[in-house]
Amino acid sequence: MSEVLKAFEEELQSKNFKGYWQNQQGDVKREPVPSFDSCMWKGKDLFAAMEKAGDVVGLDVSFRRVIQMWNPALKNGTTRTLVLNLQMLKPGENALSHRHMAGAIRFILKGHGTRLIVEGESIEIGEGDFVTTPSWTWHDHENRGETMMWLDGLDAPLVRLLETDFHEPDPRRKQTVTKPEGYTQATVGALRPAWLKQDSIQPPAFCYKWADTERALSKVGEQPGDPYDGIVLDYANPLTGGPTLPTMACQIHMLRGSEKTKSHRHTASVIYHVWRGSGVSYVGDKRFEWEQGDSFVVPLWQNHRHDNTSKDPAIFFVMSDKPLMDAIGHYREEATA
């Protein structure tokens, strides 16, 4: 570098300027190249780790007993925008109330007898139920039954990137229940209180019961479904029919016995959790053999396809950041060989 240029760059820097030529000049990338790779987390390892956490991590040590599906290429999180966690609450434990900018979902894996209190409504949860706690909703959990485990999905990595995190511990520690049992279920469907103005961005906190999911699956199971994902059910915003949360779309995917999907790629990153069944997924140049309890991630723009190698249906719980890509016009999708 010439002395003149070097002196010029120092002069620029002293005034908080930077020449574009000072950035690394390389080949322009013609398509997205994610900085994180696909990864699988075995359920066996996850549940063993959580059993140990149950012994050594009390709620005095950690506000929530949570283990993250950490993508090692990232400082934190499962993708750049989303994180999938496992949470455990033991009998008699209370997870204290708080609210934060990050939106969250729960998919209940095991146990019964815990209630989630969300925005003053107490929700009894059971296996396969799916519950949203949208951005800035109060939530606490109380276990009056047996040990419970659920998946927590959050858009916390996105919030970290945006640095928008307001976060408020609840001075009451536990919420007072102010709404009758089943309040939201009864008032956000086809019948709605006319005087209430609903938030047009954040959905109401909502519980989607497994019995309803199972019934819906049984009604659509004979249809062709989607060539890339099989039978897909959206957990829709109950008021608008839009995505689950503004930042994440959650779905149930069912691959029928021996079903093989076609290969595609898209600019949304997707996290899969195997709720039922066993099979194989091909993601980029990797092959993931999965069974119940396993989770894996498909980074944006990586080819992927799924193969249900068993005769029984396979069911995935799925979350992706597609709504975010849609909102900013960044969603693209193509079939691949």
Residues that bind ligand 1HN (CB under 6 A): 64, 66, 85, 87, 95, 100, 102, 104, 139, 152, 154, 156
In the chain, count H helices and then E strands: 6, 22
Nearer to ligand 1HN, 102 or 300 (CB): 102
Q: How far apart are CA 272 and CA 296, in angstroms?
A: 5
| Smaller CB separation from ligand 1HN, 129 or 229 | 129
Residues in contact with 48: Cβ distance below 8 Å, sequence separation at least 6, in sequence order: none
DSSP label at residue 120: T
Residue 68, both tokens: 């993250």
Task: Please state the closest distance from residue 13 (CB atom) to ligand 1HN, in A.
Answer: 37
Give the nearer residue to ligand 1HN in terms of CB position, either 95 or 254. 95
Q: For residue 280, give the nearest of 260, 262, 299, 297 by alpha carbon.
A: 260
Q: How far is the CB of 83 from ligand 1HN (least distance, A)?
A: 7
Q: Give the C-alpha separation, 147 to 112, whole Å.
A: 8
The distance of closest approach from Cβ of residue 152 to ligand 1HN in the complex, given in angstroms and rounded to an integer, is 5
Q: Which residue's beta carbon is nearest to the bound ligand 1HN?
A: 64
In terms of CB distance, is 140 or 229 closer to ligand 1HN? 140
Judged by beta carbon, residue 173 or residue 215, the one nearer ligand 1HN is 173
* 283/37 Cα distance (integer angstroms): 10
Q: Which is nearer to ligand 1HN, 154 or 298 (CB)?
A: 154
What is the C-alpha separation between 268 and 301, in angstroms, rounded? 7
Nearer to ligand 1HN, 154 or 207 (CB): 154
Q: Where are the alpha helices (DSSP H) in the chain?
A: 3-14, 43-56, 156-162, 183-187, 210-220, 322-327
Least distance CB 151 / ligand 1HN (angstroms)? 10
- Which residue, 39 or 102, is less far from ligand 1HN as judged by CB? 102
The C-alpha atoms of residue 16 and residue 125 are separated, in whole angstroms, by 54
Strands (E), 111-186: 114-118, 121-124, 130-133, 139-143, 148-154, 167-169
Q: How far is the CB of 201 from ligand 1HN (least distance, A)?
A: 20
Instruction: Name the β-bridge partners of 226.
Output: 230
CB of 98 to ligand 1HN, least distance (A): 6
Q: Which of 146, 85, 80, 76 has its CA nearest to residue 110?
A: 146
- How near is the Cβ of 235 to ligand 1HN at its closest, in Å? 18
Shortest CB 141 distance to ligand 1HN, Å: 7
User: Which among 104, 206, 95 has a CA at the least distance from the CA of 143?
Assistant: 95
Q: Give the amino acid at 7.
A: A
CB of 56 to ligand 1HN, least distance (A): 18
Beta-bridged to residue 95, according to DSSP, are 141
Measured from the CB atom, the residue of 123 and 156 that comes closer to ligand 1HN is 156
